[in-house]
Structure 1
Amino acid sequence: MLEALFNAKRPIKRFISLTYDIVVLIGAYYFASALRLGRFDITFGLNEIYALATTLLVATAVFIRLGLYRAILRYLNTQALSSIAIGVGAAAVTLAVASFFFNATTPRSVPIIFMVIALIFVGLPRMLMRSIVALTNGNTNNVTNVIVYGAGETGCQLVRSLGATNYHAVAFIDDDKSIQGSVIYGLKVYPPEDINELLHQHNAKITLLALGAAGRHQKSIIIKQLEQIGTAVKTIPPIHQIVEGTAKISDLQDVAIEDLLGREQVAAEPALLSRCIENKVVMVTGAGGSIGSELSRQILRLKPETLILFEISEYSLYAIEQELISACTMLGKACTTKIIPILGSVQNLPHLKQTMRTLSPHTVYHAAAYKHVPMVEHNIVEGVKNNIFGTWHAAQAAIDAKVESFVLISTDKAVRPTNVMGTTKRIAELVLQALAKHQNKTRFTMVRFGNVLGSSGSVVPLFRKQIKAGGPITVTHPDIIRYFMTIPEAAELVIQAGSMGLGGDVFVLDMGEPVKIADLAIEMVKLSGLSVKSAEHPDGDIEIEFTGLRPGEKLFEELLIGDNVSGTEHKRIMRAEEKSLTWSETESLLTALNSACSKYDGEAIKHLLLNAPADYSGSLELSDPLAKQNLSLTGQFTH
């Protein structure tokens, strides 16, 4: 019976609740009158019925208005109980007033007795039902006991929200000694050193972090302590997502890697952020990619006049356009930016020229590129065409349209590259440096940084997927290290760096300390509540498999070619002073590459890349199956 009631549809539950309240309010009036008169053989006249009917109308109207029938019994809180008290109080007052106006023979003490009985009849069954549900849920095998780390406001909100989930909080952990030993929401607050004992005592499998505004460094220390214990660690979504309504506090997530790394994000310089964007026409190429889409989000918040989204993928363009339109709608009148989606390839020079001449952007952020090292290695012709010629085309179109500022999103793999992708990005830098000296219409700036967390091709989502599948985790080499930065932080620094360019500048972002990928994999396994399987621990859960370096992959990434670097007005952005080419030298290289690409001559392309002043140290061996055939195609790839 109860199970059928719990599983009934919401409209049916609301109808049952409303009917029940009407019946018990009638019963409360009868019993109140019976108790006052000392007998149960009571008959009510028409005036008494009118007074009671008025009372029922007011009471149900108040209950509906206060949302009592929208409240879910199993999650009933103090607000719902307050609604019951207010509704019953309004009913008692109405009964007294209506009895007077309708000349009902209702004793003056009856409304008071009626209020007490109604509170019991309306409120008590709901509390009993909530207790039954809680008891039923507590006996199911689907409920997971958890410990909440952080007994502040965030932790309290989390515990309240867990009532709607299969997680059951059993204790608080907090570093604040002043609240240790106290009881909050029925849970005792323990010091951190008790967590291991609590996990075993309550058979708790997960520790939930609710650290509020704690900095990344503090979070990192706590996470590493929990990692040694062997408990799975999860966090709540970022506060801004909860405030914006895009996530609930009970939407638990895996630990963010940026919290694990512990590097604090430096506050942005507002003047640098808005200098090339506010009230201007801004264009982003590759706007649907990892970096391009985050650039577009941040640019929108800086209030450009127009934001042009240029993207080759129809779906990616549609997705980012709809996201930005939705964000703009939420901002209301504060957002006046016109969003223009343009479908196209940076290899199509006429299309780029038409776009920039027609829409007249002041600033262009060039994020369109093929970035996956093995993929470009296997598609050398397309990699060169997209990364080198695509950059040249976008730059030439910018010059023709008199664009004020052009910012190239580069990579640390452009420094002494061992792969085709890095070499194409270094040559793209050389092209812009040469154009910066060759003309004075457009200011060209390059921003170089390392891996971004969560981007397409990043190891972090791959590791999460492999852990979820039960392993193994694939790492190319035990000693491989990489620099990491979050996508929002990288995009923010790119915007600021682009504002500081004088022409031909190569800016390098401070990526913090490099991370050993194998250590990162081990930490992710432990934070999932699992253990690493190895020769020393054959009973572990997840094995780490070393697959060998991929074609063109380096053990260590660098950000600078030389030691000639100077500071800027932002402490996390440095200006690199590096060698460049004249335009005639650059044009000669581009002409030769163009000819080799049009013939699909992979061997010629390799020779040109090796001989170019890009410090490429790869081999002549080709991984591109098409270029290996040295096919001669009709139609030239011309500028």
Structure 2
Amino acid sequence: MLGLLLNAPRKAKRALSLFYDTTAIALALYASICLRLGTVWVDIGQKEMASLGITLIVSLVAFIKLGLYRAILRYMAHQALISVIIGVCISGTVLAASSFFIKASIPRSVPFIYIFTALFFVGTPRLLIRSTVSLISRARKDIEENIIIYGAGYSGYQLANSIQNTHYKVIAFVDDNPKLKGTLLRGLPVHKPRNLAKLIKLHQITKVFLALGSASRTCRSQIIKSLEPLGIGIQTIPPIQDILSGKAKIEDIKDVEIEDLLGRDPIKPEPRLLHACITGKSVMVTGAGGSIGSELCRQIIRQRPSKLILFEISEASLYQIELELSKHIVKLPHSVELIPLIGSVQNQRLITTIMQTFDVQTVYHAAAYKHVPIVEQNIIEGVRNNVFGTWYCAEAAIKANVESFVLISTDKAVRSTNIMGASKRFAELVLQGLAQRQHKTRFTMVRFGNVLGSSGSVVPLFRQQIKTGGPVTVTHPDIIRYFMTIPEAAELVIQAGAMGRGGDVFVLDMGEPVKIVELAKRMIHLSGLEIKDENHQEGDIEIEFSGLRPGEKLFEELLIGDNVSGTQHPRILRAEEKLLTWQEMEKLLTKLEVACLGLQCNDVKAVLLEAPTDFVSKEGFVDPVWISNEHPQTTKPVDYSDSKIAELRT
């Protein structure tokens, strides 16, 4: 019967509620008169019936206006109960007023008795239905998880409300605010953090939900670090600003983000620097569908460019970023012309035509092959894309009178031990040479480390490995890396690009380096699991060391030398490093082009070693094409004549 009622159409439920409330109000009035007169038989005259009719009509209208018939009984919260109380009070007031003006034979104390009887008749069935449904739904749950909410503020209260009809059961709240000690929230005690271990053991807690509102990332990191030794799953709700803006819901519980583990708070950007190269300008992003390129696009459209040209070699990536940006642009108070284009950065004629056609004023060059092992196995194409792709884009920018050209570089360009890093440093040298050759286009390079959540990042890999039961693979127990969020990196790139004078190399302050094995351990612990090793054979997840990959370093650096100076932004530094004249660079580019056209991996490597890249190579070749063709490792004299280059090009 209850199931039939709950599954009935909404209109039927509302009609039934109206019928019941009509009956309940009439019974409440009759019961009130009986209680006042001390008898169960009361004569009801025409005036009393008229008073009842007026009370009924006004009461039902009040209930409708208060939204009582929009509330779903099984999820009815305190707000609906307040509506019942207000509606009944209005009903009692109308009863008193109507009986007075009509001169009905209703004793003056009856309206007061009526309020309490009406509350009983109208409110009790609703509470009974809610409680019954709640008990049935809980009985149907296979497993009920006991959880604790860390944070007894508004976010904690809202979270507890949103999960009350799920399989989670909130046992208590925890908060480090001393003013909340001994208080109750939703009828549950608020404990100090030091009581957590005892509560977990006593109530068999399976998870702790973080509801920290607008707490800083540093604060969140400290709290998460304090929870790690408890060996319990930690999950969090979205930031309160995302909830208020509608980007997320309070019940969107998720695993702790790596940003919270790093504890690095972003610095408020300088609006003048964000606008300088974008607002009202035609902007082009190469590699627009990649991790950094796509985030640059997201931030660029917020700065009101006149046009945004999305240049990408991958059709799928271009489709995704265009679709996403198109949805965002519709919501913006300004219009942006979005131009998605497919092409390769190695096609100089195409790039030149695009830049001239759309009067491009600012270029963010994010297109690159960046995965170290992949480039080691594809040396020729990796160098062509990273070096010549950058050169051709830069030459196109000069021909098209582009004002600003910003290269997205990497910390792997510093004293590199791999082809990818050496090719990026070579690309920096190319732009520095071009900056000396001409002054129409301002070339700027921005160098930073790993970004969280990018393709190939260890964080999603670790998360997936933990989810499937492990093992978690780390290349070396001592390997360390710098990390930064993608939005912060893109924001700093835009600001650094605005500060360039021509040929500048900027490095971003990446904070403290992170030991990858410690990161893996923290992620395992925060998933509520134990590490399995020789001392803990009963653990859940094992950490395996797979060994350094070809060209991989134990640690990365951001500076080649010590000649570095600050800028107007505390997290952007200017590096003064060795460079070559354009004439010297042109000779090296000729050698590199001949080596690439001839598919000579050994000659490519020799040129990268000859250039002032500080490239150090102790690895043999792992390029499968080169190895399969059994090329000799010795270098023979190379013909760099124009006729030879022309022959190779054809």
Displacement of 1:18 in angstroms is 3.4
Name 1:496's counterpart in structure 2.
495
Name 1:189's counterpart in structure 2.
190
- Between 1:428-437 and 1:582-591, the stretch displaced more is 582-591
Name 2:536's counterpart in structure 1.
537
**Given that residues 374 and 552 in structure 1 are in contact (C-alpha distance below 8 angstroms), is that contact kept between their aligned partners in structure 2?**
yes
Instruction: State how 1:380-529 maps to structure 2 within 5 Å.
Output: 380-529=379-528
Name 1:19's counterpart in structure 2.
16
Cα distance in 1 for partners of 2:600, 2:448 equals: 31
**Given that residues 600 and 630 in structure 1 are in contact (C-alpha distance below 8 angstroms), is that contact kept between their aligned partners in structure 2?**
no
Cα distance in 2 for partners of 1:560, 1:293 equals: 26
Cα distance in 2 for partners of 1:40, 1:13 equals: 38
Cα distance in 2 for partners of 1:143, 1:277 equals: 53
Name 2:622's counterpart in structure 1.
623
Instruction: State how 1:326-345 maps to structure 2 within 5 Å.
Output: 326-331=327-332, 334-345=333-344
Instruction: State how 1:22-61 maps to structure 2 within 5 Å.
Output: 22-29=19-26, 32-33=29-30, 36=33, 52=53
- Between 1:366-375 and 1:319-328, the stretch displaced more is 319-328
Deviations 1:9-53 (A, max 9, x none): xx625522431332331343255247648667989999969985x
Name 2:200's counterpart in structure 1.
199
Instruction: State how 1:244-393 maps to structure 2 within 5 Å.
Output: 244-331=245-332, 334-393=333-392
Q: Secondary structure at the match of 2:615?
A: coil
Q: Secondary structure at the match of 1:581?
A: coil
Deviations 1:271-323 (A, max 9, x none): 22222222222222212211112112222222223222222222322322232
Name 1:612's counterpart in structure 2.
611
Name 1:73's counterpart in structure 2.
73
- Give the 3 Å change call, closer, same or farther, for CA 537–96 of structure 1 in structure 2: same
Cα distance in 2 for partners of 1:509, 1:617 equals: 24
Q: Secondary structure at the match of 1:218?
A: helix
**Given that residues 214 and 241 in structure 2 are in contact (C-alpha distance below 8 angstroms), is that contact kept between their aligned partners in structure 1?**
no
- Between 1:566-575 and 1:115-124, the stretch displaced more is 115-124
Name 1:150's counterpart in structure 2.
151
- Give the 3 Å change call, closer, same or farther, for CA 495–46 of structure 1 in structure 2: same
Name 2:636's counterpart in structure 1.
none
Displacement of 1:451 in angstroms is 0.6
Does residue 572 (structure 1) correspond to residue 571 (structure 2)? The answer is yes
Cα distance in 1 for partners of 2:347, 2:68 equals: 61
Displacement of 1:533 in angstroms is 0.3
Name 2:637's counterpart in structure 1.
none
- Between 1:87-96 and 1:583-592, the stretch displaced more is 87-96
Cα distance in 2 for partners of 1:100, 1:356 equals: 84
Displacement of 1:128 in angstroms is 1.8
Displacement of 1:501 in angstroms is 0.6
**Given that residues 48 and 99 in structure 1 are in contact (C-alpha distance below 8 angstroms), is that contact kept between their aligned partners in structure 2?**
no
Deviations 1:311-346 (A, max 9, x none): 222232232223223333333xx2333333223222
Displacement of 1:543 in angstroms is 0.1
Cα distance in 1 for partners of 2:597, 2:62 equals: 77
- Give the 3 Å change call, closer, same or farther, for CA 620–141 of structure 1 in structure 2: closer
Name 1:123's counterpart in structure 2.
123
Displacement of 1:117 in angstroms is 4.6
**Given that residues 291 and 454 in structure 2 are in contact (C-alpha distance below 8 angstroms), is that contact kept between their aligned partners in structure 1?**
yes
Cα distance in 1 for partners of 2:97, 2:346 equals: 81
Cα distance in 2 for partners of 1:587, 1:449 equals: 27
- Give the 3 Å change call, closer, same or farther, for CA 238–505 of structure 1 in structure 2: same
Q: TM-score, normalised by structure 1?
A: 0.90
Structure 1 gap ranges (5+)? none
Q: Secondary structure at the match of 1:178?
A: helix
- Between 1:375-384 and 1:201-210, the stretch displaced more is 375-384
Displacement of 1:368 in angstroms is 1.3
**Given that residues 28 and 118 in structure 2 are in contact (C-alpha distance below 8 angstroms), is that contact kept between their aligned partners in structure 1?**
no
Cα distance in 1 for partners of 2:579, 2:125 equals: 80
Name 1:219's counterpart in structure 2.
220
Q: TM-score, normalised by structure 2?
A: 0.88
Look up the equivalent residue of 1:260 and give its one-letter code. Answer: L
Structure 2 gap ranges (5+)? 632-644
**Given that residues 380 and 627 in structure 1 are in contact (C-alpha distance below 8 angstroms), is that contact kept between their aligned partners in structure 2?**
no
- Give the 3 Å change call, closer, same or farther, for CA 425–56 of structure 1 in structure 2: farther
**Given that residues 278 and 303 in structure 2 are in contact (C-alpha distance below 8 angstroms), is that contact kept between their aligned partners in structure 1?**
yes
- Between 1:377-386 and 1:471-480, the stretch displaced more is 377-386
Tell me the matched-pair count.
631
Displacement of 1:555 in angstroms is 0.5
- Give the 3 Å change call, closer, same or farther, for CA 576–93 of structure 1 in structure 2: same
Displacement of 1:637 in angstroms is 8.6
Q: Secondary structure at the match of 1:163?
A: coil
Name 2:135's counterpart in structure 1.
135
Deviations 1:49-91 (A, max 9, x none): 9985x87776666555544444333332222223334455566
Cα distance in 2 for partners of 1:580, 1:445 equals: 14
- Give RMSD over aligned pairs: 3.2
Displacement of 1:454 in angstroms is 1.2
Look up the equivalent residue of 1:316 and give its one-letter code. Answer: S
Displacement of 1:600 in angstroms is 3.2
Look up the equivalent residue of 1:237 and give its one-letter code. Answer: P
Q: Secondary structure at the match of 1:561?
A: coil
Look up the equivalent residue of 1:590 and give its one-letter code. Answer: L
- Between 1:214-223 and 1:510-519, the stretch displaced more is 214-223
Q: Secondary structure at the match of 1:489?
A: helix
Look up the equivalent residue of 2:278 and give its one-letter code. Answer: I
Q: Secondary structure at the match of 2:445?
A: strand
Cα distance in 2 for partners of 1:376, 1:69 equals: 64
Displacement of 1:599 in angstroms is 3.8
Deviations 1:233-270 (A, max 9, x none): 11111223212222111211222222212233223222
Cα distance in 2 for partners of 1:67, 1:330 equals: 31
Name 1:167's counterpart in structure 2.
168
- Give the 3 Å change call, closer, same or farther, for CA 29–533 of structure 1 in structure 2: same
Identity %: 55
**Given that residues 221 and 262 in structure 2 are in contact (C-alpha distance below 8 angstroms), is that contact kept between their aligned partners in structure 1?**
yes
Deviations 1:194-233 (A, max 9, x none): 1100011111111122222322222222211110121211
**Given that residues 220 and 260 in structure 1 are in contact (C-alpha distance below 8 angstroms), is that contact kept between their aligned partners in structure 2?**
yes
Look up the equivalent residue of 1:420 and give its one-letter code. Answer: I
- Between 1:220-229 and 1:74-83, the stretch displaced more is 74-83
- Between 1:419-428 and 1:36-45, the stretch displaced more is 36-45
Name 2:239's counterpart in structure 1.
238
- Between 1:64-73 and 1:340-349, the stretch displaced more is 64-73
